Amino acid sequence: MRAAPNTRVQKMEGLPGDLNSELWGLHNTGQDKGTPDADIDAPEAWRITTGKREGGPVIAVIDTGVQLDHPDLDANIWTNPGEIPGNGIDDDGNGVIDDVHGFDATLNKAYVSTKHSHGTHCAGTIAAEANNDEGIVGVNHHAQIMPIKIFPDDGDSATAATIIRAALYADKMGARITSNSWTGGGYNPVVRDVFGSSEAFHVFAAGNDATNNDEVPSYPASFNLDNSVVVAASDRNDQLGYFSNYGKKSVNIAAPGVAIKSTVLDSKYATYNGTSMATPHVAGVAGLIASEFPDISNQQLKDRLLFGTDAKPQFADRV
């Protein structure tokens, strides 16, 4: 016989009531022909922290906007502490009047609403509230989601100028993390410089073209910034999503992005596919890390994300 330490283990208790079986990306027990533990190990993380609302890291969702009054999100929407609602004055002097809950970079004014569900879906994965008798739970039970709108209600593309305004606003207003589920536009040195010089940590989607980013760059993923990670999509069996871009040198990590259920407009829920869905899983984990370690540097945050992964042989030539 061998001698070994008499260590202790803990049983899994107190899982959120809204951690339903469709949320395989958070907790995969083999449901729907999945592979057990092909997930982000959210319950294990929640034993350490479930995120932090008051004084916690601000996570900017740079996307289509977020439904502010969605019952699974409203408690976790960022509120600008320097702005007095509805008085028509730029109280905090940041150049935007009444930006109480974020920024509309398409119109260069306070964020109010959206007609697209994409950003709301991303926000739900990051921080749908736990145990509130609503549909799902996010990676963070408690958080501060800052909506930043870069896509107009009547279109599905954003200009470089809009993206620059969005990134500058996020940095100016203290976002610790940004979640970026968008691609395209080619290489733009000013966009790269704005994100690269930011104090925030940026999570970028790898893209949905099923191509190798090492050979055919996809931006902003291919900016190769020290203060960022690039995310491919995995499925419930720890395989690369059929649509997902990849790149052994240029894509850092894979996360659940196939059949992801989350919040959408009109206080509803829907299931989407995409590296857009994988990205908020990683942004959510970054939020948990920054909640537990508020003084962590961007390099330390990146190291914890990358060295905390499960290395899978099927991804050895992909990320």
Per-residue model confidence (pLDDT) at position 13: 52
Give the whole-angstrom CA distance, residue 239 versus residue 235: 5
> b/e per residue, 95-131, with b = 16+ CB within 10 A?
ebebbbbbbbbbeeebbbebebbbbbbbbbbbbbbbe
Per-residue model confidence (pLDDT) at position 195: 98
pLDDT (tens digit per residue) in 163-217: 999 999 999 999 999 999 999 889 999 999 999 999 999 999 999 999 999 999 9
> Which residue numbers are catalytic?
63, 118, 276
Give the whole-angstrom CA distance, residue 151 versus residue 240: 28
Kindly list the distances between the CA atom of residue 105 and the CA atoms of 152, 161, 200, 241, 312, in Å, as whole numbers in the listed order.
9, 9, 18, 31, 39
Give the whole-angstrom CA distance, residue 14 versus residue 46: 10
Phi, psi (rounded to 5 degrees) for 229:
-130, 155
Q: Which pLDDT tens digits describe the chain residue by residue (319 residues)?
A: 556 666 443 334 579 999 999 999 999 999 999 999 999 999 999 999 999 999 999 999 999 999 999 999 999 999 999 999 999 999 999 999 999 999 999 999 999 999 999 999 999 999 999 999 999 999 999 999 999 999 999 888 899 999 999 999 999 999 999 999 999 889 999 999 999 999 999 999 999 999 999 999 999 999 999 999 999 999 999 999 999 999 999 999 999 999 999 999 999 999 999 999 999 999 999 999 999 999 999 999 999 999 999 999 999 999 9
Answer yes or no: are the C-beta atoms of 252 and 230 closer than 8 Å: yes
Instruction: For residue 110, give both structure tokens.
Output: 């306070």
Give the 3-state secondary structure of residue 115: coil
Other C-beta atoms within 10 Å of 11: how many?
A: 4
Give the whole-angstrom CA distance, residue 278 versus residue 288: 16
DSSP symbols for 185-233: S---HHHHHHHHT-SSEEEEE--SSS-BTTTS--TTGGG--TTEEEEEE
